[in-house]
């Protein structure tokens, strides 16, 4: 082992050791909730001279320990928990995935995939699938990441390396995708609104970053491939797999009956997808929004993603289960769903405290204050365009450790950055591209990401003592590498003059 690799392993071991001394995630979120309460009380009377870019009003920290605030907190506690978005996504999707897994459908699919995928290409194929999963909003968190562990384990590789690779693709490369998604028009909407502060007549294309994000997929796959195979997996070689062997995927060959059952399940899925396609493309389809768009957040189709995942896994799972003989009656199907929920019990406990913390952090205005102050400080430095873009990337990556929502952060800081850089001659399209890089790279190392505890749970299936520090140490090389290389890629991409996206520009006003 080289000296540099040894130094890196020692650093990551230190991160893991320190991180694992943190309390259980549920206790940690409760502790953070207390901290937010205390700071909201201490800072509630302080004037920060921070103006909210959307309302124009001074931002003040709200005292969450006041009688009215505490009464509201307790009165809405159940609603806060039940309204925690990742909770419903995870539980509903896992009901369908649980049936597909317990029936054997997923395991057979993985074994057949391994038969046609060269071992050398297993990692990049997994990361590529993870990147494509962005199109289905948060589906990658409940589908691709756990499957990454199953696929690697079935291939005789360390399952935590598969989980890390998938997590890097799903979340670390969130803004790298060659398939347009609803995130594109969402961010473009905030960017255009911010640009209109300076130029009321400006119009931006919803796919103004499409070429850049598509090319970024290559960077994410390349970085993830190298780190997984050359850094992460060698380091995991000393980590024994001690999970519940009953839950591990079987490594036996696919029998003719299993193959027949699998093809029947796939046919069921194809028929379902065909029916969905015809329903979506029909004239006056009810799956589109009032303007006829299918990909907008207001479209019923986009709001049906999780139920569709449920159906597209439970139906093939049931068909496969009955034909393969793994299911003999309806009780077996319900048993598979029940078993999948048993594994979610710990996540629900963590989600309860996570939901309360995120709600309190938002209500206190501490996150808004942090975002505005950071953006204002960066703009006050009056740096050159290239340095400023890199500064935006690093600032957003830092803020992302505390404020996870991509749209919420951009809604806050775009009215500061976009007009500021327009005055320096840089386009809103370029500023948005820089934001997207920073927003992606630190997702995978912040325990405040709503899905982070779920990924810890996936790891514990194979290595029981996996903690927050273990996962942070596992993902830190991805964050650092992507932050540096993706930033450099944006600057080089800019210098070469390659179009950022459809009807996009680098300079403002646009040349010609």
Q: What is the pLDDT of residues 408-427, one digit of tens each?
A: 778 778 877 888 788 778 89
pLDDT averaged over every residue in the chain: 85
Q: Which long-range contacts (CB under 8 A, 24 or more apart) does 183-186 make?
A: 183/134, 183/406, 184/209, 184/210, 185/295, 185/296, 186/297, 186/407
Residue 165 lies in domain: 3-40+60-496
Structural domain count, the chain: 1
Distance of CA 342 to the CA centre of its chain: 24
Is the confidence at residue 469, as pLDDT, over 60? yes
Q: Please give the Cα distance from 124 to 485 (Å, whole number).
A: 18
The confidence band for 339, taking pLDDT boundaries of 50, 70 and 90, is confident
Q: Is the pLDDT of residue 236 over 80?
A: yes
Q: How far apart are CA 474 and CA 452, in angstroms?
A: 13
Q: Looking at residues 495-510, what average pLDDT do you find?
A: 90
Confidence band for 295, pLDDT divided at 50, 70 and 90? low
Q: Confidence band (pLDDT; 50, 70, 90) for 296?
A: low
Contacts 24+ apart (CB under 8 A), 332-341: 333/99, 335/102, 336/98, 336/99, 336/101, 336/102, 336/103, 337/95, 337/98, 337/99, 339/98, 339/102, 340/94, 340/95, 340/97, 340/98, 340/99, 340/101, 340/102, 341/91, 341/94, 341/95, 341/98
Q: Is 70 exceeded by the pLDDT of residue 297?
A: no
Compute the average pLDDT of residues 339-346. Answer: 82
Given a cut of 90, whether residue 233 has pLDDT beyond it is yes
Per-residue pLDDT at 110: 73
Q: Tell me which of 282 and 244 has the higher pLDDT.
A: 282
Is residue 391 a part of any domain in this protein? yes
The reply to whether 49 falls in a domain is: no
Is residue 263 in a domain? yes
Q: Is 73 left (phi over 0), alpha (psi -120 to 50) or beta?
A: alpha
Asked whether 220 and 176 are in contact (CB, 8 A), the reply is yes
Q: With respect to residue 17, please indicate whether it lies within any of the assigned structural domains.
A: yes
pLDDT confidence tier of residue 182, bands split at 50, 70 and 90: low
pLDDT score of 251 more than 70: no
With beta carbons less than 8 A apart as the criterion, state whether 86 and 138 touch: yes
Residues 344 and 94: beta-carbon distance below 8 Å: yes
What pLDDT, on the 0 to 100 scale, is given for residue 135? 63
Phi and psi dihedrals of 58, rounded to 5? Answer: -65, 135
pLDDT of 158 strictly over 90: yes
**Residue 342 is encoded by which pair of tokens?**
């048993």
Residue 431 in domain? yes
Strand stretches in 284-401, DSSP E: none
Residue 163 in any domain: the answer is yes
The predicted structure's pLDDT at residue 468 = 86
Cα distance between residue 219 and residue 173, in whole Å: 9
Residue 12 is predicted with a pLDDT of: 76
pLDDT of 263 over the 60 cut: yes
**From CA 259, how far away is CA 275, in angstroms rounded?**
24
Of 78-82, 180-184, 221-225, minimum mean pLDDT range: 180-184
pTM of the predicted model over 0.95: no
Q: pLDDT category, 404, cuts 50, 70, 90?
A: low
Is 311 within a domain?
yes
Higher pLDDT, 41 or 9: 41
**What was the pLDDT predicted at 313?**
86
- The pLDDT value recorded for residue 215 is 96
Closest CA to 107 of 283, 377, 320: 320
Q: Is the pLDDT of residue 172 over 80?
A: yes
Per-residue pLDDT at 136 exceeds 70: no
Which is more confident, 28 or 325? Answer: 325
Burial 451-468 (b: 16+ CB within 10 A, else e): bbbbbbbbbbbbbeebbb
* pLDDT of amino acid 261: 94
Query: Is 506 inside any structural domain?
Result: no
Residue 426's DSSP bridge partners are 507
pLDDT score of 265: 93
Supply the pLDDT for residue 346.
79
Is residue 228 scored above 90 in pLDDT?
Answer: yes
Contact between 165 and 147 under an 8 Å Cβ cutoff? The reply is no
């Amino acid at each position: 082992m080289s000296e540099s690799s040894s130094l890196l392993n020692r650093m990551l071991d230190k991160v893991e050791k320190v991180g694992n001394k943190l309390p259980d995630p549920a206790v940690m979120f409760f502790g953070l909730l207390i901290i937010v309460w205390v700071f909201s009380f201490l800072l509630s009377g302080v004037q920060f001279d921070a103006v909210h870019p959307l309302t124009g009003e001074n931002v003040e920290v709200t005292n969450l320990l006041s009688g009215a605030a505490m009464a509201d907190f307790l009165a809405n506690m159940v609603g806060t928990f039940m309204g925690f978005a990742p909770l419903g996504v995870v539980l509903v999707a896992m009901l369908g995935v649980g049936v597909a897994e317990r029936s054997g459908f997923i395991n057979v699919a993985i074994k057949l995939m391994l038969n046609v995928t060269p071992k050398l290409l297993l990692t990049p194929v997994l990361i590529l699938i993870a990147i494509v999963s962005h199109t289905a909003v948060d589906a990658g968190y409940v589908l691709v990441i756990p499957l990454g562990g199953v696929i690697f384990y079935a291939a005789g590789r360390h399952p935590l390396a598969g989980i890390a690779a998938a997590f890097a693709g799903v979340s670390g490369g969130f803004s790298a995708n060659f398939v347009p998604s609803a995130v594109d028009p969402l961010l473009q909407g905030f960017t255009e609104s911010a640009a209109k502060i300076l130029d009321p007549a400006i119009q931006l294309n919803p796919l103004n970053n499409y070429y850049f994000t598509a090319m970024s997929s290559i960077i994410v796959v390349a970085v993830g491939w190298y780190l997984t195979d050359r850094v992460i997996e060698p380091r995991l070689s000393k980590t024994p797999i001690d999970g519940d062997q009953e839950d591990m995927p079987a490594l036996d060959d696919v029998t003719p009956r299993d193959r027949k059952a699998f093809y029947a399940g796939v046919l069921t899925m194809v028929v379902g997808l065909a029916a969905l396609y015809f329903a979506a493309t029909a004239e006056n389809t009810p799956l589109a929004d009032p303007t006829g768009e299918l990909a907008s957040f207001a479209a019923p189709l986009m709001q049906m993603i999780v139920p569709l995942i449920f159906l597209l896994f439970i139906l093939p799972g049931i068909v496969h289960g009955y034909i393969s003989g793994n299911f003999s009656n309806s009780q077996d199907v319900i048993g598979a769903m029940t078993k999948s929920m048993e594994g979610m019990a710990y996540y629900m406990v963590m989600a309860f405290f996570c939901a309360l913390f995120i709600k309190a952090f938002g209500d206190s205005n501490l996150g808004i204050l942090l975002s505005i102050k950071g953006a204002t400080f960066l703009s006050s430095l009056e740096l050159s365009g290239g340095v400023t873009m890199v500064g935006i990337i690093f600032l957003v990556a830092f803020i992302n450790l505390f404020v996870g929502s991509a749209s919420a952060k951009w809604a806050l800081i775009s009215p500061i950055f976009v007009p500021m850089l327009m005055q320096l001659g840089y386009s809103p399209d370029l500023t948005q591209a820089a934001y997207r890089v920073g927003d992606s790279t630190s997702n995978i190392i912040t325990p405040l990401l709503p899905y982070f505890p779920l990924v810890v749970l996936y790891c514990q299936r194979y290595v029981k003592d996996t903690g927050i520090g273990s996962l942070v140490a596992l993902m830190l090389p991805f964050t650092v590498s992507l932050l540096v290389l993706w930033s450099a890629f944006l600057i080089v991409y800019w210098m070469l003059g390659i179009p950022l996206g459809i009807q996009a520009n680098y300079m403002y006003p646009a040349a010609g």
